Structure 1
Amino acid sequence: MPVGYKGLNTNPKTDGGTLTDFTTQPGAAPDAMDRAMVRQMLMNNPDWVREDTELLSHLAAAPAARGVADLGFVVREKLLDEVRALKRREQAIADHARNNLALLARAQMFVLSLMECAGLDELDYKLAWEAPAALGVEKVRLFLEGATPMIVSEAIHACGQGLADELLGDENDFTGGCAPRTARTLYGEDMGSHALCRIEAGGRTGLLALAATEPDQFHTGQGTEILNFVARAVERLMDKWLSET
């Protein structure tokens, strides 16, 4: 029985009898005492029925006469389907919002950790090994047009002039599918989708790239606020260090 109903004692030793467990006995029907108790519970807690669309629809249904179409039943079923769809959509929106908040929190913590980097070597390490987990992707790369002051690096790479313009055109960022040739050029292996953001540091143009194996992780029209938030933080650090070299 639902928690909170104090008028029912289900202990057979003190109640003077036992309730018929008709939920586990197919075909069994509640006796008069059971029905009275259920009725009293529903009288005391009518919201149990009102808030259960499946139960409410079942109770509202009336058997139609033979050979007569029950339009009311059809309408109720249609409305019930719409309610179910709305609930699924509402749950999906709530899940998406929770995921976005979790991602934003991880991105903020990651950016704060970037502020502790003493130089390009530490930034390179964090982008290669910490950024993927923080941002929920498989690869993170930072490309600088021209040469880089680093002899050995894992995430920060030099690239040819015009790469950012070739991939972004006049836009500041891009989210969507990643062509196999582009994926192998940027990440060294095939990727399903990626997010790109232009950066300007030390008078040079660069590109922050996040790649995922899932083809639908990044898609056209997707919000890029978190991507730009991370890119601007990296941009400021790079601008400072490149100006000193």
Structure 2
Amino acid sequence: MSDSMTKEIDTDENNITKEDVLSYLAQNPDFLKTTPEAADLLVPSKDKKNGRKVADFQYYLVEKARADKANVEKQTQDIIETARSNMHNQTRMHAAVLKLLEAESFQDFIHIITMDLNAILNVDLTCLVIESDASHAAALNLNGIRIVPEGTISAWMGAKEHILESDIYGVEEIYGGGAGLVRSQALLRIDVSAMTPPAILAFGSRDPNTFQAGQGVELISFLTRVIERSMRAWLNVPG
């Protein structure tokens, strides 16, 4: 409380009069603006005149102040929750990258992608899908990689580097027996080398809204780039 206020009003609440309060508010017209919580203590009146209800502008001003205060509080809370969520997702992605770097063999690397990333990133399925002809399919499947015919990934992705879809049903070509579980997905093109076939990294979730068109893809795109570079090292191919 300011010095001028303490001079005009006794700190003993029993000695504060209505005139004291009105005088202070007159001298401090921005009081409700700078102290919005005070609006919650006000009980605006609705007067009647000649039997008719009269619009009380003070009432509406107070109600507007309360609504503005609630709106600011909600926006602030939304910002805080978004920041927390972003930080949490970033922490998950860091953990995923560190796990990939711990791989002791290429088979272990693929196992981490297709099994361990599910728990780390809180998704239900993570699949690595590669185009190949039948002669190489058996060998690749031993490494836990899903194989699709040549041209399939181009048909799915077109010229896009990533696709995020909500409220969908997973396809067996990507998710195998778990396709029925998938209700939203993120598909990211993997460009290992000009010497390797087209591939995608697919994340599937049972929540229809985990992945949605328009979401930011910076973190999962970063993970994809890490996987590309790691695969080049394991396969000893140029970028």
Equivalent residue number for residue 58 of structure 1: 41
SS of equivalent to 2:116: helix
Which of residues 165, 182, 187 in structure 2 aligns to 1:191? 182
Call closer, same or farther: CA 1:122–1:68 in 2, change over 3 Å: same
Query: Structure 1: how far apart are the matches of 2:77 and 2:66?
Result: 16
Query: 2:121 corresponds to which letter in structure 1?
Result: L
Query: 2:124 corresponds to which letter in structure 1?
Result: E
Call closer, same or farther: CA 1:150–1:36 in 2, change over 3 Å: farther
Call closer, same or farther: CA 1:117–1:70 in 2, change over 3 Å: same
Give the Å deviation of 1:51. 6.9
Q: TM-score, normalised by structure 2?
A: 0.72
Query: Structure 2: how far apart are the matches of 1:207 and 1:165?
Result: 10
Q: Is 2:193 the partner of 1:210?
A: no
Q: How is 1:90-101 mapped onto 2 (pairs within 5 angstroms)? A: 90-101=76-87
The answer to whether the 8 A contact 2:123-2:203 is kept is: yes
Give the Å deviation of 1:128. 2.7
Q: Is 2:168 the partner of 1:173?
A: no
Q: Is 2:126 the partner of 1:140?
A: yes
The answer to whether the 8 A contact 2:146-2:174 is kept is: no
Task: Show structure 1 runs of 4+ deviating over 4 A.
Answer: 34-39, 49-52
Query: 2:39 corresponds to which letter in structure 1?
Result: L
Unaligned runs of 5+ in 2: 1-11, 18-31
Structure that is richer in helix per residue: 2
Query: Structure 2: how far apart are the matches of 1:163 and 1:142?
Result: 14
For residues 103-141 of structure 1, the C-alpha deviation after alignment (integer angstroms, 9 at most, x for no partner) is 112211221221221322111221233211222211111
Q: TM-score, normalised by structure 1?
A: 0.71
SS of equivalent to 1:140: strand
Call closer, same or farther: CA 1:179–1:131 in 2, change over 3 Å: same
Unaligned runs of 5+ in 1: 1-33, 40-48
Give the Å deviation of 1:223. 0.6
Query: 1:239 corresponds to which letter in structure 2?
Result: R
The percentage of aligned residue pairs carrying the same residue is 24
Give the Å deviation of 1:183. 3.4
Equivalent residue number for residue 131 of structure 1: 117
Call closer, same or farther: CA 1:37–1:134 in 2, change over 3 Å: farther
Give the Å deviation of 1:238. 1.9
Query: Structure 2: how far apart are the matches of 1:138 and 1:109?
Result: 17
Give the Å deviation of 1:199. 0.7
* Aligned length, in residue pairs: 203
Give the Å deviation of 1:54. 4.7
Equivalent residue number for residue 162 of structure 1: 151
Equivalent residue number for residue 220 of structure 2: 227
